[in-house]
Each structure stands twice: as structure tokens, then as C-alpha cells.
């Protein structure tokens, strides 16, 4: 099933580009902020207070579900490219029997992208990268679905992002070439 809402597709592209501009130090800051950012208390105690998918009980349309599925792959790839774009590109384009076998076994290209992006991120940051990525993921989900979310839920999902960048992650009508230039 294909994504039919062009605004979601454009938003996903903006969010991936923003993830690609992150610097490793900013990802480390998100890791630190994810564990300590306050929330409104809507989250079960056992969950990281930012995990969006399923925890917030927000009813989503089929197009919104598709948008979040597409966003996951593009966001994780964008974050991995921010850390080592050359490594991801080289792995995806590698020639040879092993690569051909991998493409045969994992026919879904997103699985290969996610697998390599995960390896790049975990090699650089270790297991705690998932706290930081969860903060990025939820800020991106909130930005993509902002018009559909309650203000308090939007604020919870954006808390770690705001702690690091001092403003929420939001979509704009124009994609900034370097949205983080002000913090460098």
C-alpha cells in the first residue's frame, strides 16, 4: 500500500534531511536528554517516556500509519548518514555474491537499510543510542502528526528535542539547508 497524502511524503523528506544534519555530539545530547526530560505522566512507568507507537493510544488513519512506517526507515537512515554516510552507501551498493544473497534473502530494501543503519549507530554509540533515537523518532512523529495530536502529547514527544535544541522540531513550508546552523 502506497502513501497517498503528499503532505506526509513532503514532511518525511524534511524530517530525514534534518536527521542527516545532526552531528554525533547532538545525538549524544539527545541520548542524555531522553532519560531526564519531563512528561505529563501519560506514559506507563515501564516505558521510556517518549515511545510513541502504541503507547499514546492515538487513533491513526491508514495514511498516518503508512507515513510513520515510511518515517521510521528514512529517519534511521538519516541518523546513520549523519554519523557515517559513506559507510551506509558503501554497504548498500557493495558488489559480490554476499551482497546478491543478502538482497535475495531480504527482498524488502527497507530491511537492509534499517539493518545497516542500526549497525552504524550502535557501533558509534552503543546500546544507549536507542534512547537518543527514540527521542528523535518521537519528535519527528509529533512534527509529522502535529495537527492530529493534543498539545500536551505533542509537548511530551518533543521534550528531549527541546531540551537539546531549545525549540520543538516542526515542519516548515521551506526546507532549511542547515536547520541547526544557529547552534554551531
Tell me the range of 7-16, 32-41, 86-95, 126-135 where mean pLDDT is highest.
Answer: 7-16
In a domain, 48, yes or no: no
Residue 137 to residue 74: CA distance in whole angstroms? 10
What average pLDDT score do residues 79-95 get?
71
Domain-embedded: residue 51: no
The per-residue pLDDT for 36 is 75
Residue 6 has pLDDT above 70, yes or no: yes
Between CA 19 and CA 165 the distance in angstroms is 13
The burial of 90, by beta-carbon neighbours within 10 Å (0-12 exposed, 13-18 middle, 19 or more buried), is given as: exposed
Q: Would residue 177 count as lying in a domain?
A: yes
Q: Is residue 64 part of a domain?
A: yes
Residue 89 in any domain: the answer is: yes
156 in any annotated domain: yes
Query: 0.95 exceeded by the pTM?
Result: no
Domain that holds residue 25: 10-39+60-183
**125-176 confidence digits (pLDDT tens):** 888 888 888 889 889 988 999 888 888 888 888 888 999 999 989 887 444 4
Residue 46 lies in a domain: no
Number of domains in the chain: 1
- Answer yes or no: are the C-beta atoms of 140 and 75 closer than 8 Å: yes
SS3 87: helix
Amino acid at each position: 500500500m502506497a502513501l497517498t497524502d503528499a503532505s506526509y511524503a513532503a514532511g518525511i523528506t524534511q524530517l530525514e534531511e534534518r536527521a542527516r544534519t545532526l552531528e554525533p555530539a547532538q545525538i549524544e545530547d539527545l541520548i542524555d536528554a531522553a532519560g531526564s526530560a519531563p512528561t505529563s505522566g501519560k506514559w506507563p512507568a515501564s516505558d521510556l517516556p517518549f515511545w510513541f507507537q502504541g503507547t499514546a493510544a492515538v487513533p491513526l488513519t491508514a495514511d498516518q500509519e503508512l507515513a510513520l512506517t515510511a518515517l521510521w526507515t528514512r529517519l534511521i537512515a538519516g541518523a546513520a548518514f549523519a554519523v557515517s554516510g559513506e559507510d551506509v552507501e558503501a554497504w548498500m551498493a557493495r558488489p559480490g555474491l554476499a551482497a546478491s544473497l543478502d538482497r535475495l534473502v531480504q527482498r524488502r530494501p527497507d530491511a537492509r537499510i534499517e539493518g545497516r543503519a542500526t549497525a552504524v549507530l550502535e557501533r558509534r554509540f552503543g546500546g544507549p543510542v536507542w534512547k537518543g533515537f527514540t527521542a528523535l523518532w518521537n519528535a519527528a512523529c509529533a512534527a509529522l502528526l502535529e495537527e492530529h495530536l493534543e498539545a500536551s502529547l505533542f509537548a511530551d514527544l518533543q521534550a528531549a528535542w527541546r531540551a537539546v535544541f531549545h525549540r520543538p522540531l516542526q515542519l516548515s513550508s521551506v526546507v532549511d539547508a542547515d536547520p541547526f546552523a544557529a547552534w554551531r
